[in-house]
Amino acid sequence: MTKQERVQIIINRLNRLYPKPDIPLNHVNDFTLLVAVILSAQCTDKKVNEITPKLFKLASTPQQLAELGQPKIFELIKEIGLAKTKSIHLSKMSAIIEESFYGKIPNNFKDLESLPGVGHKTASVIMAQAFNIPSFPIDTHIHRLSQRWGLTNGQSVKQTEKDLKKLFPILLWNKLHLQIIYYGREHCTARGCDGTVCDICREIYPKRKQPVKTRKA
């Protein structure tokens, strides 16, 4: 089976399972999506969704979050990992957006990645889901599954993103990154599959017997 044949099987299966995947982080507008994505670093989406309602009730715009201030932000998010650092980033980030970008989230990678707490993955999520600009955010699930499916060697997250963008049609990127995340959480999990168990792994590699050793992101 060629790599492109595997790609088509993956697309077909994911479309059947997740025809219209929702963004797993609760939010009320594009700015709160950015906040939620920043909070999700090294933290589960479930935990983020538990703490953001109180935060967003008080502050759902850059101006409101900047006025809330770092100490109050910390108190509201202290249950999640790296809360102190994230509260500092959110306070500075919201002030910069309000002062330098007139309260609007920038819609390009350069400006997004200049914001405190916003790396390439976070910027990619915002470009894809807030602005509908084709991007392919790579998280741990996508990095792991791409190796199990023989789509990349997993040398780095940057290489995985580059390889997937070459293999999948650009119009599918924004949807695919959500589909693969859901599949990685529900079917091809870190411990539940080793490249020989889930339906997609078994279909695209029917003769595979040995577990696939994957490189971590």
CA–CA gap between residue 122 and residue 200 (Å, rounded): 27
CB-CB contact of 93 with 123 (8 Å)? no
Of residues 157, 153, 132, 147, the one with CA closest to residue 194: 147
Q: Cα dihedral sign for 6, 8, 14, 17?
A: negative
Catalytic residue among 121, 162, 209, 213: 121
Active-site annotation holds for 121: yes
Active-site annotation holds for 45: no
CA 9 to mean position of chain CA atoms: 23
Catalytic residue among 139, 175, 194, 216: 139
Active site positions, annotated = 121, 139
